[in-house]
Each structure stands twice: as structure tokens, then as C-alpha cells.
């Protein structure tokens, strides 16, 4: 019987909802692996790399399912896990260290998009007010964080709002960037490795229901993690589109497949988009390790496409980096 070690990040003493979610991911992945006939074991990836290394070696696992999202609470160290696994020459799921470095550093990922002709909003790293156009709307984001950490209504501001910009600088120092806020529809598309080419799952659109006119239409931290919040209750995912969106969907699918190649993604991934009023498609982010929880977008898209989740995991295992 083959054995899979499920590797997750060591949680803090008082984990936040986004941090705890890795346990839910481990649960659904473990259930899928058991259905596929694997023996499973879990291990925490900590900052003590020697201890982690020994746990991995002693597990004698045939594969490692890498779910590590941060190291010592630092998202910018996410590449430590695949780097260690690569050095140990143990087959592991998901993207390699180089891809994790690029996609986790969002401005760097945007540079990759630009180089390959993929449209992405204009951006500035830790700008001063003089770098911004006063009558243009922007959104500030942490460079490395995922899961909408650090994003709320105050992240969206006009270029002449010096105070909001400086508030963000106080929180993140120079580890933040500001990009042009694209008013319009929002989509995300999940993708995973097929036998010969990536399989693009049905696109999801995010609907901002009953949002007041002056409230930013964003998927902030509240919308993802605070179940009693207005944002959580009124930010809805849909896979239903009218025939007039057929051409748009084909473009989104094509760009998703392009991102898979450009970023050398492996196993599974998700690409987030905005569509402006002129029909321009902007890539906001290529996520090399999207959430796999049963209530997350990747899982929902797989179900919409008619896949059993264990079949997806089987494809991901077969695309392991060796």
C-alpha cells in the first residue's frame, strides 16, 4: 500500500480562521487519499527545518501532499516546504519552490504577466502619494499574504487620500503594493493537471449582492472568514452564465491555461480576474496553492464539473514533482 504524508504548516498558539483552514484542507485531502487506497500520515512543517526533515524521512512516505501555506506565520517563506522536498528528492504535490517564490510575491507575479503579454492592473510598490493619480481609485494589498489577509474596505481609496495610504504603510512598512482598482465583474477559475494538458474547471463569478453604492466590491477578509458579516452573507459564487458570456468564458479559460504554462504551475491552481467596463480582462493573481476545503472555490468548481474530489486528488498525485 502506497503512503502519503500530508504536510501542513505549524499553527500559532491562537490561530486565526484563515490559518485554521489548513486543517479542513488536510481533512478533505486525507479522505480522498484513503478512498484512493493510500495510507496517510500528517506532519507539521515548522521553522525547525532539521526536525521537519527528519519527520519527512522517518515517515517513509511515497508521496508528500504539500499543504504548507506559511512558515512561522510568514507567507513569504512558503517556498521553504517545496525547496526542502526538492532537496530530499521526495515526490510532492503542487508547484515547485521557484513558482511559489514568484506567485507569492504578487508584484513579481504581475511582472511575469506583463512580460508574457497578460493584462494586469498597473501597480506601485509601497508608493508615496506623489506616485498616484489623484482622481484614480486604487486598492492596497500586502505583497505576500493570501486568503485576503489585510484587505478590507479601507484598502480601497482615491489617489489623493494620503491618510489611507499612510495607514497601510504603518501596518506593512514597505511590504505592500497599490494597484489600480478595476471596477467591474470578478471571476476566478480553478485548474488542475490532466494527463497531457491542464484541465480548466468551470469559471466562477463573484456576485456582490445588495452592496451599497459607496461600498467597495471586493473579496476582503470579512467576506472569506467572518460568517456573521454582511460581506460573507452577500458575496456569492455562481457558475451560471448566459449565452452572451460564451466568448468571455473562452477567453478566461485560454488565459488560465496560459498562466499555467507561464508560471510553471503544477498539481492545481486558481487564477483571479476582473473585467472592466470595456471588456478588458485583468489577471489579479495566480494562486499556486488555492484552498482545497469543501466550502472553497476549487472544490465547488470540481463538483460543478462532475468530478469526484478523489479523482482530482488522483490527478494531482500523478503530477507530483519528482
Q: Is residue 67 within 8 Å of 289, Cβ to Cβ?
A: yes
pLDDT digits (tens, 9 = 90+) for 53-107: 999 999 999 999 999 999 999 999 999 999 999 999 999 999 999 999 999 999 9
Q: Is residue 190 within 8 Å of 201, Cβ to Cβ?
A: yes
**pLDDT interval class at 1 (50, 70, 90):** confident
Can you read off the three cell numbers belonging to residue 42?
Answer: 500528517
Q: What is the CATH number of domain 3-93?
A: 3.40.50.20
Give this prediction's pTM: 0.96
Residue with cell 532537496: 87
Beta-strand runs (E) in 156-306: 156-158, 176-180, 185-193, 198-200, 204-208, 235-238, 268-275, 281-287
**pLDDT interval class at 188 (50, 70, 90):** very high
pLDDT digits (tens, 9 = 90+) for 287-296: 999 999 999 9
Identical fold, 3-93 and 102-120+183-318 = no
Helix (H, G, I), strand (E, B) or coil at 253: helix
Residue 296 has what pLDDT? 95
**313: exposed, middle or buried (C-beta count within 10 Å: 0-12, 13-18, 19+)?**
buried
Residue 147 has what pLDDT? 86
Residue with cell 506623489: 130
pLDDT digits (tens, 9 = 90+) for 263-288: 999 999 999 999 999 999 999 999 99
- Residues of the chain with pLDDT > 70: what percent? 100
pLDDT digits (tens, 9 = 90+) for 116-151: 999 999 999 999 999 999 999 999 999 999 989 999
The phi and psi torsions of 74 (rounded to 5 degrees) equal -110, 110
Residue 219 has what pLDDT? 96
pLDDT digits (tens, 9 = 90+) for 217-255: 999 999 999 999 999 999 999 999 999 999 999 999 999
Q: How far is residue 313 from each of residues 31, 208, 307, measured CA to CA in Å?
A: 10, 31, 10
Question: 214 Cβ partners below 8 Å, 6+ apart?
Answer: none
Contacts 24+ apart (CB under 8 A), 153-156: 153/215, 153/216, 153/218, 153/220, 155/216, 155/218, 155/220, 156/181, 156/216, 156/218
102-120+183-318 belongs to which homologous superfamily?
ATP-grasp fold, B domain (3.30.470.20)
- Residues of the chain with pLDDT > 90: what percent? 97
What is the residue extent of each domain of the chain? 3-93, 102-120+183-318, 123-180
**pLDDT interval class at 199 (50, 70, 90):** very high
Mean pLDDT of 43-52: 95
From the CB of residue 13, how many other CB atoms can be counted at a distance below 10 Å?
4
Query: Given a cut of 90, is residue 322 above it in pLDDT?
Result: no
Mean pLDDT of 205-217: 96
Can you read off the three cell numbers belonging to residue 131?
Answer: 506616485
Amino acid at each position: 500500500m502506497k503512503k502519503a504524508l500530508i504536510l501542513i504548516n505549524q499553527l500559532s498558539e491562537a490561530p486565526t480562521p484563515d490559518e485554521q483552514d489548513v486543517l479542513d484542507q488536510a481533512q478533505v485531502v486525507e479522505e480522498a487519499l484513503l478512498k484512493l487506497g493510500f495510507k496517510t500520515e500528517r506532519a507539521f512543517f515548522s521553522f525547525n527545518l532539521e526536525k521537519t526533515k527528519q519527520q519527512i524521512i522517518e515517515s517513509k512516505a511515497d508521496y508528500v501532499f504539500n499543504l504548507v501555506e506559511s512558515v512561522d506565520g510568514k507567507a513569504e517563506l512558503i517556498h521553504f516546504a517545496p525547496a526542502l522536498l526538492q532537496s530530499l528528492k521526495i515526490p510532492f504535490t503542487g508547484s515547485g519552490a521557484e513558482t511559489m517564490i514568484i506567485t507569492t510575491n504578487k508584484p513579481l507575479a504581475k511582472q511575469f504577466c506583463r512580460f508574457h503579454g497578460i493584462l494586469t492592473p498597473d501597480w506601485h510598490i509601497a508608493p508615496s502619494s506623489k506616485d498616484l493619480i489623484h482622481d484614480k481609485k486604487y486598492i492596497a494589498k500586502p505583497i505576500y499574504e493570501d486568503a485576503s489577509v489585510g484587505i478590507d474596505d479601507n484598502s480601497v481609496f482615491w489617489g489623493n487620500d494620503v491618510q489611507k495610504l499612510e495607514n497601510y504603510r504603518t501596518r506593512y512598512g514597505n511590504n505592500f503594493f497599490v494597484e489600480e482598482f478595476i471596477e467591474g465583474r470578478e471571476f476566478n477559475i480553478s485548474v488542475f493537471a490532466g494527463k497531457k494538458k491542464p484541465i480548466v474547471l468551470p469559471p466562477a463569478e463573484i456576485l456582490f449582492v445588495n452592496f451599497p453604492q459607496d461600498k467597495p466590491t471586493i473579496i476582503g477578509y470579512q467576506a472569506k472568514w467572518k460568517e456573521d458579516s454582511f460581506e460573507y452573507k452577500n458575496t456569492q459564487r455562481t457558475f451560471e452564465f448566459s449565452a452572451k458570456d460564451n466568448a468571455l468564458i473562452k477567453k478566461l479559460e485560454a488565459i488560465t491555461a496560459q498562466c499555467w504554462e507561464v508560471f510553471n504551475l503544477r498539481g492545481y491552481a486558481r487564477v483571479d480576474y476582473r473585467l472592466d467596463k470595456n471588456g478588458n480582462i485583468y489577471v489579479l493573481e495566480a494562486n499556486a496553492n488555492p484552498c482545497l476545503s469543501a466550502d472553497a472555490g476549487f472544490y465547488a468548481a470540481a463538483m460543478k464539473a462532475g468530478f469526484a474530489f478523489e479523482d482530482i486528488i488522483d490527478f494531482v498525485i500523478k503530477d507530483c514533482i519528482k
